[in-house]
Amino acid sequence: MNNGQAMKRTFALILAAMAAIALFAALVHFVLVAGHVSEPAATTVHGLTPRRLWATTVAVLALASAVIGVVALARPANRFGAIASLVAGLIAVVNGGLVVGFANGGPGSGNGVVGGAGALVLGLIGMSLGAIALGRSRRSLSID
């Protein structure tokens, strides 16, 4: 690959990453609007609250679900990774929905709504990747 092709590929990857980040932010905002918690809090709570800790933990689980899903897609024979991605994503979606559902204030209120919305979106992505990987692993097992 020559220098021009490498630059075009790098530019395309940067553009795709920016589009993915914008889509993720839009989906998180949509979840906040749908949960009626999109308005910033009148008084901002600083520091770690129990609900922020819950939301952060679930968001990390959702991120792990998405990463495991990508790895499972890269290795079609890895059914364990696909199932782990599905289960972790489901746990993240349910808990993220609970965080957003129980919130009585928007961003800055200490309720962890942004983390909960992010966990919900990332959990759905992780579940989708796990489902695709599981379908591929079943297909590869039936062909062999």
**Other CB atoms within 10 Å distance of the CB of residue 71:** 16
Q: Buried b / exposed e across 13-36, counting CB within 10 Å, b at 16+?
A: eeeeeeeeeeeeeebbeebbeebe
For residue 94, what pLDDT band results from cuts at 50, 70 and 90?
very high
**Cα–chain-centroid distance for residue 90?**
11
pLDDT of residue 66: 93
Both structure tokens of 10: 């790098």
Average pLDDT, the chain: 85
Among 7-21, 26-40, 70-84, 85-99, name the most confident range.
85-99
pTM across the whole model:
0.80
Enumerate residues 6+ apart whose C-beta is below 8 A from 101. Answer: 35
Mean pLDDT value of segment 33-38:
77
| Secondary-structure breakdown of the chain: helix, strand, coil percentages, each rounded to the nearest 5 | 80, 0, 20
Question: Is 41 strand, coil or helix?
Answer: coil
The answer to whether residues 120 and 31 touch, using CB atoms and an 8 Å cutoff, is yes
Confidence at residue 59, expressed as pLDDT on a 0 to 100 scale: 94
pLDDT at 28 over 60: yes
Per-residue pLDDT at 87: 95
pLDDT tens-digit readout, 107-144: 878 788 889 999 999 999 999 999 998 888 766 655 55
